[in-house]
Amino acid sequence: MLAVIFDPNAKNPWLVLAVLAVMLTTASVVSSNRISKKIKNLLPLVWGSIFISTALTLAYTNLLILQPQPWYEPQYLIPLAGMILGNAMNSGAIAGERLVSTINSSQLEIETHLSLGSTPQQAVKQYRKDAIKAGLIPTLNTMTVVGIVTLPGMMTGQMLSGVSPLDAASYQILIMFVLALATLISTLLLTEGLCRRFFNQDAQLIK
């Protein structure tokens, strides 16, 4: 399958997009299963959050920075999408699971806030912040030591292929910022959607 996709004489944008759709759906299923199996219609929410974060960051990186010809060049598009999807999946699963478990264990506190006049967003604001922070921790930890621990290892493949160390480092720094942006967008969208799932139209907590 990969041989067909990366064959320079058989480039097909629809085939590349189909592979990306399969990757996206697989990542969404894994992430939603990690978050909860009891929340209805969770998969579309996870799928949409990961899709938006991946599409935005991938479009910016591929079309404005790398600018491959053609734009669907699988050599660039598929590896980048794989890295972005993997990180968005992990951050979304961590943030979503933290938020769901915290809300489920803090129902009395949330209802107290609601009875005192707080809006649903205000009642779960701190829980959402903690969930987003938890989802971003792996990416932030990686960026903290990127120059000493992570970057040399990530550059190995490019350096073995003959790319200069400076160019290899520049590409990897770009990828790290792209991954950080993608994880931030996915966790923001996912946690916002999850918070809405716990309240009905009358701003009452759904148990």
Is 9 among the domain residues? yes
* Number of independent structural domains in the chain: 1
Residue 26 lies in a domain: yes
* Domain presence at residue 63: yes
What pLDDT is attached to residue 74?
A: 80
Note whether residue 205 is domain-resident.
no
Q: CA–CA separation, 144 vs 146, rounded Å?
A: 6
The answer to whether 25 and 47 are in contact (CB under 8 A) is yes
Q: Mean pLDDT throughout 52-56?
A: 94
Is 132 contained in some domain?
Answer: yes
202 inside domain = no
Closest among 28, 73, 79 to 53, alpha carbons compared: 28
- Domain hosting 44: range is 2-197
**Chain segment 144-172, per-residue pLDDT in tens:** 766 565 555 555 555 555 556 666 667 77
